[in-house]
Amino acid sequence: MTRINQLITPSFLVDLDKMEQNSSNTAELCKNNGKMLCPMVKTHKSMAIANLQKAHGAAGFMAGTLDEAEELVQHGFQDITLAYPVAAVENLERVAALAKQAHIIASFDGIEAALQLQKLLEPQRLQIEYLIIIDCGLHRFGVKPNKAVELARELSRLSALTFKGISTHPGHVYGVSKLSDIERVAQEEMAAMEMAKECLVKAGFAVEIVATGSTPTLPLVAQNKTITTLRPGNYVFYDAIQVALGIVPLERCALTVQATIIANSGENIFIMDAGSKCFGLDQGAHSASLVKGYGIVKEHPELLVEGLSEEVGKIRATSPTSLKVGDKIEVIPNHVCAAVNMSSFLFGHRNGIVEKVIDIDARGGTNRKLTTSIIWKK
């Protein structure tokens, strides 16, 4: 029996009870509101956690990368939405290969990537369904709601592609600082999708899927009658940014990075053996600063993670502390999605006792064999 405080550091820990509770609560929210749950895999990039989400009612998954989509298919998952447009023949060939093995839904916000996919699919007599991405305020991907019909008409001329519905992501919610602003973003999110669907239906298009997703706006948009599919990601772990937004209390955060204090370089300054290569440098998405420091030290409110070098972190004690060299601490990352991508595995534990090792098996590099074969072919 191994306790987490016996692990070498830095180590990535996940509290299994909290992760399971988070998964169950979100699945219940979707079920109670008649929504399909299709989690975003980029948060955890783990097939073991995808299986947990499926066990709690996830009907499909959304992939942020082709690596994630391929790993999902290899593990038997059959309903996968590609979050973003895909372009260039080398990448599109991977999409076509996936479409031969599973139900793949593409996403477009313009004609160019769709034309490239059509050119590849048509000779193979393959069909792929797609969603049109709607811009609800993030201004990254997507067309304005009143422009959805124009794009749908352009795409309808492509014989290998079949219109399925619309999607959006209110990522600008991470640029706000209080709950009332989250409500405003949720209203913008819902209004954009309602308008886009109304315009498309009036133009004669059957809109089967109306998908959206962000963890902060999830409880609000779940009640909307137009939305059919919810695609949150962060909820499985939560993080310091979600706490700062008031979405969950600190106790709901399931993932921590365990580090050892290796130096006491001044009266109030301590150094830990985990840095930016464990946490990243996020203090809020989309240029917003939502948190103070670079993570929350559990059970030590007097400690501030003041700075990060690549392999070490600088901690300041803002009031008296019992911390000393050799002690181990757990730090909740500001942005858990970035932190998880820094490791190949997590230690799953209950009550501080390690129960399992969870592989992060859909990180970058899963297509190494394919890439190598392309190099030698050329």
- Kindly report, residue by residue over 315-363, the tens digit of the pLDDT: 999 999 999 999 999 999 999 999 999 999 999 999 999 999 999 999 9
CA 267 to chain centroid, in Å, comes to 39
Label residue 133 by pLDDT band (50, 70, 90): very high
Label residue 225 by pLDDT band (50, 70, 90): very high
Contacts of 204 by beta carbon, 8 Å cutoff, 6+ apart? none
Strands 229-230 and 209-212: parallel
Percent of the chain with pLDDT over 70: 95
- Kindly report, residue by residue over 36-81, the tens digit of the pLDDT: 999 999 999 999 999 999 999 999 999 999 999 999 999 999 999 9
Beta carbons within 10 angstroms of residue 50's beta carbon? 23
CA distance 256 to 239: 9
Check pLDDT > 70 for residue 125: yes
Contacts of 53 by beta carbon, 8 Å cutoff, 6+ apart? 23, 27, 37, 39, 61, 236
Residue 224, helix vs strand vs coil: coil
Predicted local confidence at residue 284, as pLDDT = 64
CA distance 168 to 175: 17
Predicted local confidence at residue 285, as pLDDT = 58
- Kindly report, residue by residue over 197-220, the tens digit of the pLDDT: 999 999 999 999 999 999 999 999
H-run or E-run covering 220 = helix 218-221
Label residue 377 by pLDDT band (50, 70, 90): low
Predicted local confidence at residue 260, as pLDDT = 98
Predicted local confidence at residue 175, as pLDDT = 85
Label residue 374 by pLDDT band (50, 70, 90): low
Contact between 259 and 226 under an 8 Å Cβ cutoff? The reply is no
Beta carbons within 10 angstroms of residue 344's beta carbon? 12
Q: What is the DSSP letter of 343?
A: -
Q: What tokens does 55 get? A: 């066990």
CA 200 to chain centroid, in Å, comes to 28
Q: Which residues in 210-240 are b (16+ Cβ under 10 Å) and which e?
A: bbbbbbbbbeebbebebbbbbbbbbbbbbbb
- Kindly report, residue by residue over 242-292, the tens digit of the pLDDT: 999 999 999 999 999 999 999 998 889 999 999 999 998 877 655 456 788
Burial of 259 (0-12, 13-18, 19+ CB in 10 A): buried
Residue whose C-alpha is closest to residue 166's, from 193, 127, 139? 193
- Kindly report, residue by residue over 147-186, the tens digit of the pLDDT: 999 999 999 999 999 999 999 999 999 988 778 899 999 9
Residue 40, helix vs strand vs coil: strand
Length of the chain: 378
Predicted local confidence at residue 130, as pLDDT = 98
